[in-house]
Structure 1
Amino acid sequence: MASPQDPLLKEEEEAMEDHSDMDVEKGDIPERQNLPSLSVMSTARSIITVVILAFVNLLIYANRSSVAGVLPYIQKAYDTNASLSGLLNTLFIGSYVLDAPIAGYLGDHCNKKYTVCAGVIVWLSMTLTLSFIPDGYFLLFLLTSGLVGAGEATFCTIAPSIIADLFTSDQRTRMLNVFYSVIPVGCGLGYIIGPKVTDAARGDWHWAFRVTPGLGLIAVALMILVTKELPRTTTNGKNNKSQKFAKWATDLKKLFKNRSFMLTTMGSTAVSFIVGAIGVWGPSYLTHARTLLQEKDPCRAEPCDYHDILIFGVVTVVSGILGVVAGTEISKRYRKSNPRADPLVCGCAMMLSAPFLLLALTFGNISLVATNIFIFIGETLLSVNPSYLTLY
C-alpha cells in the first residue's frame, strides 16, 4: 500500500472526491474533457506517464538509428556488402509488421501496462544480445535484429492507446504530439551516440548497443511504479465496461471500410518508407560521397573518419524539431479558415520534400554542403507529418 504522504496518491484521492458526485451516465464526462478520463489517475501522474512513454520512444528510435550510425563497422565485422546489410532493416520491419497486429490484440484484451513493459523488456534484452554476437555470425545477428523489431512493435502499438486513455479532447492531441515529436530527436541522437560511443570504446562498435538498455530498464521500472491500468473507455471518455469487445476479424473489416483511416495509413506508410530509406542509407551515402569528391580510397582499417554521420545526426535533430513545430503552428493557424488544414498542410509538405530529396541525390558528387542543405530542407518538410498523424 502506498504511503499517505505520496503526493501523487493524495492528488488522485482529491480528484476522486471532487468528482465522486458526478453521474457518468448523465453526460458529465464531456464537461471534464481536460481531465484524465474517469479521474482514475491524477493529472500529474498522467503527465509523468506521458513523459516516461515519450522517453522510451526516444530511446527506441535512438537505438534504431544507432545501427545506421555504426553500419560501416558492422559491415567490416561480418564481412557483408550493402545488399546483405540491407537485410537488417528488411527483417526488422518484417518482424515489426507481423507483430504489430498481435500487439494490438493483446493491448485490447490484456493489461496494457504490463504488455507494453514486456515489449520493452524484449526490445532491451535483444538489443543487448546484439552487442555480444561475435564476428562471423551474421545470420544470428539478423535473427536477433528481427526480435528487436517485435519488441518495438509491442511498445509503439500500445503506448499511444495508453495516452489516449489518459486524456480526452485537445489534451489528448497535445500529449500524443509530445510522444511523437521525440522521434526525429531520437533518430538524430542515435547517429551521434553510435559513432561517439564507438570512438570512446576505441573502435568497439558493440558498445553502441549497450547504452539504451540500461536507460530503458529505468524507464520500465518507472512505468510499473507510476502507470495504472485504466478502465476501458470509448473515444469520448465514457465508461466502456459493459460493452463487449468485437471480434478481431470484425474490427479489421470495419477498419478496411473506413476510407479516412485507410488513406491516412497509406500516407503514413509512404512517409515511413521515405524516412526509413533516408535514415538507413543517408549516412552511408554522405560517407561515400565524400570519398568520391576527395578522390581517395575508402577506409579499410581503423580508425576511420565518420564525422559525416555526426553531421547527418545534427541535421536530423534540428530538421525534426523545426518540422514538427512548424507543421503544428501552420496547421493551427490555417485551421481557422479551413477545417481540412491538417491533411492539406501535411500533404503539401510531403510533395514539396520530393524535389529537395532529388536534389540531394543529384548533388552528391558535386557538393557535400549543398547535399546537406537539401537533406535538411527535405527532412524538415517530412517532419511536418507527425503533427497531423497524431490526430488519428
Structure 2
Amino acid sequence: KYTLKTLSMEPIGIPPNNSQQHLMRDCDTMDVVPNLNPIKDRSSENQGVTPRQWLTVAILCFVNLINYMDRYTIAGILKEISDYYRIGDDKAGLLQTAFVLSYMLFAPVFGYLGDRYSRRYIMAFGVFLWSLTTLLGSFMTEYHWFLAFRTLVGIGEASYSTIAPTIISDLFADDTRSKMLSLFYFAIPVGSGLGYIVGSETSRMANAWQWGLRVTPVLGAVAVLLIFFLLVDPPRGESDGNTAMESTTWKEDIKALLKNKSFMLSTGGFTCVAFVTGALAWWGPRFIDYGQQIQAGTSNKDVNSSVSFKFGVIAMISGLIGVPLGSYLATRLRARNPKIDPLLCAIGLFLSTPFIFMALIFARTNTIAVYILIFIGEIALNLNWAIVADMLLYVVTPNRRSTAEAFQILVSHALGDAGSPYLVGVISEALKHKYAPGSPDVAVPIEVEYKSLQDGLFSTCFVEVLGGVFFLLTSFYIVKDRAAADTEISGSEITVAPTHMFADDPQLNCSEANLTTA
C-alpha cells in the first residue's frame, strides 16, 4: 500500500507538490485523514464477547480438561499398574515419557497443518484418536502393548494442544485474550487433579484399575461432536485486524522463531515449569504414600487411594487460584510495567522453590504440612500457564502461531516432562541399589524406597530456579519483540502492492482509501 512519504514525493527526488488537491475515490464526498494504524483500531473493537465465542471457549476448556484428566489418570493408579505388570520405577516412569515423546514429536506436524488447514477437523481427529487408543489400552494384558497404546495417545493429544490456543488468539485481542487464556489454562491443573481422583476412585469402586482409563474416552466422544458441530474456527489473524497474512514456508517459520529472543527464552523457562510439574504430578502421590507408610509403620492400599484423591484436590484448587491469579496480576500491572509478564513468571518459580523443597523434607514426619506446602508451591507455579501462552501469542505473528505452539511443545516436553518422570525414576531405581545392595528379588525396605525417590525429586528444586532465570532474561527483550510482532502484522497489510500508483486497494473502505497530501 501507499505511505504518506511516497505520496508527498519527498524521499524520491521529485519536487514537493504544494497543491491542496486530493486523491479521492469516486465514493468520497469529504476529506478524511487515513487511519495509519488499522490493526490497533480493529483489535480494540473486540470488546464484547458473543454467545458463540463463549461457546467456543467453553468447548476448548472442556476438551483441555479431559485432555489432562486422561494424561494424569495413570498417575492416580500408578501403584496398581506397577503391581499388575510387575515393573519398577524406571518402567513406570517410561509410561509417561513414551506418551510425551510421541506427543512432542508429532506436535510440529500438527502445528504445520494447523497454520494451513481446517483446525476444527484436525482437533476432532486428534480427540477421536486419543479417546480410542486410551480405551483400547485399558484392555492390554502385557506391558509392552500397554506402553504402545500410551504412545498413540500422545499423537492424538498433540493435534489438539498445538491448535486450540491459536483459535482463542484469533477470536480475542488484548486483555480479553488474556482472560480467555486463563480460563483455558486453568483446565490444566484442574484436569490433572480430576485425573488423580477419577483414576483412583473409579479403580477403587470397580476393584480394577482398568476402569479408571475408561471414563475419559466417553467424554472424548462427546467432545468430538461438539467440535464438529458447534466450534467456531475464525480466520487466522482476525483479532489482530489482519486476515490477509500469507503462510510462509516451515523453514522460514522456524528461522523467525529462533531469532525471537523472547520466544526462545520464555520457552526455556516454560520447559523448566514442565519438568517440575511432570515430575511432581507423576511421583508426588507415591512419594507422599511412602512417607505415610513410614509414619504408620504399614503398607496400605487404601492409604495410596486416599493420597491420590487428596493430591488431586490440591492440584485442582491450586490451579483454580494460581492460573487466574497470574492472568489477573499481569493484566492489572501491564500498564505500569510492560515487562511484568516474564517477571511474574520468574517470581512464581522463585516463590515455589522453597515450598516444594520443604514438602520433600517433611513427607515422613508431617503429612498435613506436606499438603499445605505443596498447595502453596503449586499456586506459585501455576501463575505461569496463562502468562506464558499470552507472551507467545503477542510476540509471534498469526501465520506462525500454531508452529510456535508446536515448537514450544516440542522443546518443553523434550527437555521437560518427557524426561523428568523417567529421569526421577531412573535416579530412584539406581539409588535403591546403592542404599540397599543385595539380590533384586529381595523386597526393598520402605525407608529405602522413600529416600531414593526423595533424592530424585530434589532435582525439581534446582530446575525451578533455572526456570526463574530464563524468565528474568526474557524481561530484557519482551517489549522489543512485542513491538516487532505488531510492526510485522501491520507491515503485512501495508505491503500489498497495487497494480499502479493510484490503484484502489480492495481491503480499504472508502474513508481509509481517502489519501490526502499535506
Structure 1's unaligned 5+ residue stretches are 1-24
Give, in angstroms, the shift of residue 230 of structure 1: 3.1
Tell me which residue corresponds to 1:233: 237
Contact residue 323 and residue 384 of structure 1 kept, 8 A: yes
Q: 1:127 to 1:262 in 2, by over 3 A?
A: same
Tell me which residue corresponds to 1:215: 219
- 3-state SS of paired residue (1:198): helix
Of the three residues 175, 200, 211, the one matched with 1:195 is 200
Q: Distance in 2 between matches of 1:116 and 1:326?
A: 29
Q: 1:34 to 1:43 in 2, by over 3 A?
A: farther
Aligned AA (1:213): P
- 3-state SS of paired residue (2:243): coil
Q: Distance in 2 between matches of 1:349 and 1:30?
A: 31
Q: Distance in 2 between matches of 1:98 and 1:383?
A: 25
Give, in angstroms, the shift of residue 390 of structure 1: 2.5
Deviations 1:317-341 (A, max 9, x none): 1111111233233333433432212
Contact residue 172 and residue 239 of structure 2 kept, 8 A: no
Tell me which residue corresponds to 2:132: 125
Q: 1:231 to 1:318 in 2, by over 3 A?
A: closer
Please state if 1:159 is matched with 2:158: no
Tell me which residue corresponds to 2:504: none
Q: Distance in 1 between matches of 2:168 and 2:263?
A: 19
Residues 340-355 of structure 1 correspond to what in structure 2 (within 5 A)?
340-355=339-354
Aligned AA (1:380): I
Q: 1:64 to 1:132 in 2, by over 3 A?
A: same
Tell me which residue corresponds to 1:16: none
- 3-state SS of paired residue (1:365): coil
Residues 245-324 of structure 1 correspond to what in structure 2 (within 5 A)?
245-296=247-298, 298-299=299-300, 305-324=304-323
Q: Distance in 2 between matches of 1:235 and 1:60?
A: 26
Contact residue 56 and residue 216 of structure 1 kept, 8 A: yes
Contact residue 34 and residue 167 of structure 1 kept, 8 A: no
Tell me which residue corresponds to 1:59: 66
Tell me which residue corresponds to 1:378: 377
Q: 1:36 to 1:139 in 2, by over 3 A?
A: farther
TM-score normalised per structure 1: 0.86
Q: Distance in 1 between matches of 2:239 and 2:264?
A: 19
Of the three residues 206, 213, 221, the one matched with 2:210 is 206
TM-score normalised per structure 2: 0.66
Please state if 1:148 is matched with 2:170: no
- 3-state SS of paired residue (2:99): helix
Aligned AA (2:125): A
Structure whose CA Rg is larger: 2
Of the three residues 82, 87, 96, the one matched with 1:80 is 87
Contact residue 42 and residue 240 of structure 2 kept, 8 A: no
Give, in angstroms, the shift of residue 224 of structure 1: 0.9
Aligned AA (2:322): G
Give, in angstroms, the shift of residue 232 of structure 1: 3.3
Tell me which residue corresponds to 2:362: 363
Give, in angstroms, the shift of residue 304 of structure 1: 6.6
Highest RCO, 1 vs 2 (Cα 8 Å, sep ≥ 6): 2
Tell me which residue corresponds to 1:31: 41
Percent identical residues: 40
Aligned AA (1:150): I
Give, in angstroms, the shift of residue 347 of structure 1: 0.5
Q: 1:27 to 1:239 in 2, by over 3 A?
A: farther
Tell me which residue corresponds to 1:10: none
Deviations 1:224-249 (A, max 9, x none): 11124433336622121xx4321101
Tell me which residue corresponds to 1:93: 100
Please state if 1:180 is matched with 2:185: yes
Please state if 1:116 is matched with 2:123: yes
Q: 1:315 to 1:91 in 2, by over 3 A?
A: same
Give, in angstroms, the shift of residue 147 of structure 1: 0.9
Deviations 1:184-217 (A, max 9, x none): 111111111111111221x211111111111111
Which is worse superposed, 330-339 or 317-326? 330-339
Q: Distance in 2 between matches of 1:233 and 1:352?
A: 36
Deviations 1:24-77 (A, max 9, x none): x9976643436669x9xx922122011101100000111111110011110111
- 3-state SS of paired residue (1:218): helix
Aligned AA (1:227): L
- 3-state SS of paired residue (1:230): coil
Q: Distance in 2 between matches of 1:287 and 1:331?
A: 37
- 3-state SS of paired residue (1:381): helix
Q: 1:62 to 1:262 in 2, by over 3 A?
A: same
Structure 2's unaligned 5+ residue stretches are 1-34, 393-518
Q: Distance in 1 between matches of 2:236 and 2:56?
A: 17
Aligned AA (1:75): S
